[in-house]
Structure 1
Amino acid sequence: MCGAPKQGGALAGIDLSTQTVIQGSVWHEGAPVAGAYVRLLDGTDEFTAEVVTSPEGEFRFFAAPGEWKLRALAPGGKGQRVIEAEVGLNETTVVLDA
């Protein structure tokens, strides 16, 4: 059983002056992808965490500042995005290739 928190929703109560939040959505063919698996990999490609996107295709990770790779996988395809995260809110989109 996955212990991942529910994805999406507001960041109420989160101190963005001290937290590094990586959040975004997964898209394929112009639409958000619900139920996609999104992995967070560190700068050496080591697995750090995995979540499943919300019904709106949203995901969120709490991480340390630095370079991170996001890999998404769903029945419609797979996608990847590299992000340089800083303290605060870091938003991105991962687009799936067919």
Structure 2
Amino acid sequence: MCGAPKQGGALAGVDLSTQTVIQGSVWHDGSPVAGAYVRLLDATDEFTAEVVTSPEGEFRFFAAPGEWKLRSLAPVGRAERVLSAEVGLNETTLAIA
């Protein structure tokens, strides 16, 4: 079982001047996708972490600055996005076609 924290919610208590936060949401046909698996892969496509989206389709990772790939897997399909994360809040959306 994954030990990831509950997804979504505020970032109260998180020092965004020292933390790199990657967060966003998964969408399909104009609606958030709850229960999708979102994987965090490093620059070499190596698996780093995985979380399940909240009822609002939200996810969050705490990572190091650098190049990352996000991959969502859900019964309605999958999506990928590459992003360059910096210290602070890095937000993105994964749209399943």
Alignment of 1:1-98 (within 5 A): 1-97=1-97
State the distance in 2 between where 1:27 and 1:94 align: 6
Amino acid at match of 1:30: G
- For structure 1, list consecutive stretches of 5 or more residues without a partner in the other structure: none
- For structure 2, list consecutive stretches of 5 or more residues without a partner in the other structure: none
Runs ≥4 residues deviating over 3 A: none
Query: TM-score under structure 2 normalisation?
Result: 0.99
State the distance in 1 between where 2:70 and 2:2 align: 18
- Write the deviation string for residues 29-76 of structure 1: whole angstroms up to 9, x where unpaired: 111000000000000000000000000000000000000000000000
Q: How many residues align?
A: 97
Kindly state the Cα deviation for residue 2 of structure 1 after the two structures are TM-superposed: 1.3
Identity %: 85
Aligned-residue RMSD, C-alpha = 0.4
State the distance in 1 between where 2:56 and 2:93 align: 13
